[in-house]
Amino acid sequence: MDVGDKNPIREVQPAVVKSEAPDLGIPPEACLIEGHAEPCTVVIVGASGDLTQRKLVPALFNLYLNAGLPQPFLIVGCGRTELGDRGFRDKMKKGVSAAPQRLDSKWGEFAKSLFYRSIDYGDLPSFSALAGYLKEKDEEHGTGGNRIFYLAVPPSLYKDVAHVIGRSGLAVENENGNGWSRIVVEKPFGRDLGTAIDLDRSLHDHFEEHQIFRMDHYLAKETVQNILMFRFANAIFEPIWNRRYIDHVAITAAETLGVEHRAGYYEQAGVLRDMFQNHMMQLLALTAMEPPSLFEADRVRDEKVKVYRALRPFPVEKIQEYLEVGQYGPGTINEKAVKGYRDEPGVNGDSLVPTFAMMKVFLDNWRWQGVPFYLCSGKRLARKLTEIAIQFKQVPHSMFRQTLGEHITANRLSIGIYPDEKIILTFQTKNPGARLCLRSVTMDFEYNQNYKGPILDSYEKALIDCILGDQMLFWRQDGVELCWAFLTPILEECETCRERQAMLLPYAAGSCGPGLPGKGEGFDRLMESMRS
């Protein structure tokens, strides 16, 4: 395998062969919603914050434009800031204008379903008053007492907010004028195994498992959902999807963004908690899991959990052979000079928090024994790229060795998650001409090819699934705990070992990741060092 093959943040080769499927003439709405969405109210706790304006309300508005919301439907924003209905609507309008959507005459109509209440998080009287207010709104609009509580507050407030929602009677289902009641929490779910269990207990004090939606936006990405369709709706990949044919799997989530305005959170999290405990583990499970007997939330999640159970305990005593961590320094991104991590506002000047990690993991089961999975994620890298690369083994015997030598580049299947929403199969063909030589070519499929309907972004998909009560794309607690159980010893070792400072490899913003002292630079070197 040459360097170009290994570098996951390389430029994608141009398409050589393109498939052309017939346009099936599916009406645009056909793939949008399955099942019957019941009237409901989405209560956003923390609605004056950034997430509501940037993601949640634009997502709900887009669903509305695509006839994806039930009717009647209400949004009640709650936050500490005094805004009032008018102020909330104006603020949300700004958010929607910044999003790539049509802010046409429909906004006025949509905005009528937006309301705002000032609230004190963790304060029971505040939430009891909210309960009364929601009841009035139900009677006025016919929303049937069905409610989703979306916690758009810092994770440190999840327990308190869930507690007062419960104490004010809002978690109870089908009683006192309530219909169904659901709570959405976004990752991180705790900061280690102990805190994750503790958070879960608090949620379960008032909510049952079917009411809890643990959100990981990666799961709702179209291209991530497609992994199971690709693997299990085609007969040709599964027979070779195992240790006999696959050399290794590399799962990459590279970003050009830095820590932005989230230093307070990131300084406590670092890349392992921020990306590995959740998104990377989900991509790993989807790539490695067995086919469930039915495409149904619990059967799919059962299979994922089996993957997490098969994770080989991490050899913390040999941590440096299995894990590389780094931190970005100053550099250039898109021709603009950017600060190093330690110079970002809110970051400690001698912070040892990693912004890059690459980890080698194994799954101890029949299918994957001996196949390394490389998980790599980092901020301020050369390009944004999320992909899963399945690297097949070389041919067992080269009949061309007299002319071409032994080495023939092995096949590779890249499942592009973002921004290249593509599946690319690399294979060898004869180069045209008299001389015998091979060349690597690709067969490309673009995810949106031959599809003209609306596309749901991850928040839209997650919100509609929550309205429909479908937990397929949400974490189940056993998965959360198994992933924490795997990562917690690694985090403890990283954060307490004597070599902590020396382990943290610097890399320039805009580069391909850390170099190794005396061994050159970049991700390829890291991969090389782990493979040797």
Q: Which spans of this chain sit near ligand BG6 (rule: CB under 6 A)?
A: 253, 255, 257, 274, 386, 418
d(CA 475, CA 477): 6
Residue closer to ligand BG6 by CB (options 200, 274) is: 274
Tokens found for residue 37: 């969405």
Tokens found for residue 10: 């390389």
Q: Which of 141, 279, 397, 407 is catalytic?
A: 279
The answer to whether residue 397 is catalytic is: no
d(CA 18, CA 446): 9
Residue closer to ligand BG6 by CB (options 303, 387) is: 387
CB of 270 to ligand BG6, least distance (A): 10
User: Which among 391, 407, 364, 95 has a CA at the least distance from the CA of 241?
Assistant: 391
Contact indicator for 513, 523 with CB cutoff of 8 Å: yes
CB of 88 to ligand BG6, least distance (A): 25
Residue environment code for 63-85, b if the CB has 16+ CB neighbours within 10 A, otherwise e: bbbbebbbebbbbbbbbeeebee
CB of 224 to ligand BG6, least distance (A): 10
Residue closer to ligand BG6 by CB (options 313, 346) is: 346
Tokens found for residue 67: 């006839």
CB of 67 to ligand BG6, least distance (A): 26
Residue closer to ligand BG6 by CB (options 276, 523) is: 276
CB of 153 to ligand BG6, least distance (A): 15
Residue closer to ligand BG6 by CB (options 8, 39) is: 8
Q: ∠ at Cα 340 (334, 345), nearest 5°?
A: 105
Residue closer to ligand BG6 by CB (options 253, 297) is: 253
Q: Is 377 helix (H, G, I), strand (E, B) or coil?
A: strand
CB of 417 to ligand BG6, least distance (A): 8
How far is CA 343 from each of CA 4, 92, 336, 339, rounded to the nearest angstrom? 33, 32, 16, 6
Cβ neighbours of 368 (radius 10 Å): 21
Contact indicator for 524, 512 with CB cutoff of 8 Å: yes
Residue type, 372: P
Which residue shows structure tokens 């999840």? 158
State which residue has the least CB distance to ligand BG6: 274
Provide the annotated active-site residues: 279
